[in-house]
Amino acid sequence: MSLRIVFMGTPEFSVPTLRSLVDAGHTVAAVYTQPPRPGGRRGLDLQKSPVHQAAELLGIPVFTPVNFKEQAERDHFIALQADVAVVVAYGLLLPEAILNGTRYGCYNGHASLLPRWRGAAPIQRAIMAGDEKTGMMVMKMDKGLDTGPVALTSEVEIGPNMTGGELHDRLMHAGAKAMAAAMVKLEMGDLPLTPQATDGVLYAAKLDKGETRIDFSKNAPDVHNHIRGLAPFPGAWFEVEIGGKPERVKVLGSELAEGSGPAGELISNDLVVACASGAVRLTKLQKAGGKPLAAADFLRGTPLAAGTRLA
């Protein structure tokens, strides 16, 4: 036996789950993903999403509606006669006609331990808040924002120096395994649903460019968590004078360090910067238009000595 599935997802994060469902022998009747967007070197070419590209390689029909406001789009979805829809980082709000448009409803793979970090940026927000663990949750979707009952949980530890990118990849693969396991249970009629707790709710707001600048007037753990949560994208940054003019530098890696001094001042020649309390060592940096470099390699091309101010 196998389920007839409609898969809905867009970024690279969603691709392993799609592949896991195909590998498990389910029939993926269709894939829904975001429409192609301008991209390429000059931003002039329309680029298909990673899920779109993966679906084409797998020979699965792909649909890219802008939304589901048109009745024709809703009718088309329902006409697929799917047992279940699997949703992973699709990027569109689903109306009730879609949520109820399959035999078993829609199941979402969400990258947090709900009800903590509902919303758009749960991976980055968990690290920025200093959480020591997170996970992937399979939940049955309802009309609320990540409010549906939970079917299955896969916890993932967050290491002290783990970046947003590293956690993304861990959760991406954990999510694929969790969803495959959930679909086995659903097919067997043995997938229990547990309502989310009403306390401990936090919302993971979409990342804003205005919050990416590093504030060294905060305590070292907060600065460190901010840096690693935003690495590698969009990237936390500071400005420093290089060659007589201010230049923006992204920080893609850091670690807590010993030392103290005026907040924002380098207190060593190996990129240890003082914070309001404590210090952080910058371990991976990238100048505008340049490549990401380990600290030692960065310093060979851009010497920044103790006493330099970072802002």
**Which amino acid belongs to residue 263?**
A
Vertex 308 angle, CA 304 and 311, to 5°: 110
Q: What whole-number distance in Å separates Cα of residue 117 and Cα of residue 147?
A: 11
Question: Is 114 one of the annotated binding-site residues?
Answer: yes
Per 3-state DSSP, the chain is made up of helix, strand and coil in percentages (nearest 5) of 25, 30, 45
Residue 103's SS3 state is coil
Vertex 69 angle, CA 46 and 4, to 5°: 80
Where do we find the tokens 């043995």? 190
Nearest Cα to Cα of residue 33 among 17, 13, 48: 48
Q: How many residues belong to the chain?
A: 311
Q: How far are the Cα atoms of 52, 124, 231, 284, 289 from residue 292, in angstroms, in the given order? A: 29, 20, 11, 7, 10
Question: Is 112 one of the annotated binding-site residues?
Answer: yes
Residue 41: exposure state from Cβ atoms within 10 A (0-12, 13-18, ≥19): exposed
Nearest Cα to Cα of residue 258 among 282, 276, 225, 280: 280
Q: What whole-number distance in Å separates Cα of residue 2 and Cα of residue 183?
A: 9
Where do we find the tokens 């680029």? 47
Residue 159's SS3 state is coil
Numbered residues of the known binding site for (6S)-5,6,7,8-tetrahydrofolate = 112-115
Numbered residues of the known binding site = 112-115
